[in-house]
Amino acid sequence: MEAVLAQDHDLGPAKDTYAGFIALFKWGTVAAAVVTALVVLIIASRAA
């Protein structure tokens, strides 16, 4: 059954979409970490 489904559908666009999602997820994670570090540094500098 799985072989029939793989033959009936073109998986190329799905793989491209998935690759784009993974790339966006990686960059989003990096951006969130940078923003978090900046916020922590700002809060720490005001507390001192």
Domain of residue 43, residue span: 10-47
For 5-16, letters b (16+ CB in 10 Å) and e give: eeeeeeeeeeee
Q: What's at 12, amino acid-wise?
A: G
User: What band does 30 get if pLDDT is binned at 50, 70 and 90?
Assistant: very high
Q: How many domains does the chain have?
A: 1
**Per residue in 5-28, pLDDT tens?**
556 578 888 899 999 999 999 999
Displacement of CA 5 from its chain's centroid (Å)? 28
Whether 42 maps to a domain, the answer reads yes
Is pTM, for the whole model, over 0.85?
Answer: no
Whether 41 maps to a domain, the answer reads yes
Whether 2 maps to a domain, the answer reads no
Whether 4 maps to a domain, the answer reads no
DSSP 9: S
The span from the CA of 23 to the CA of 36, in Å, is: 20
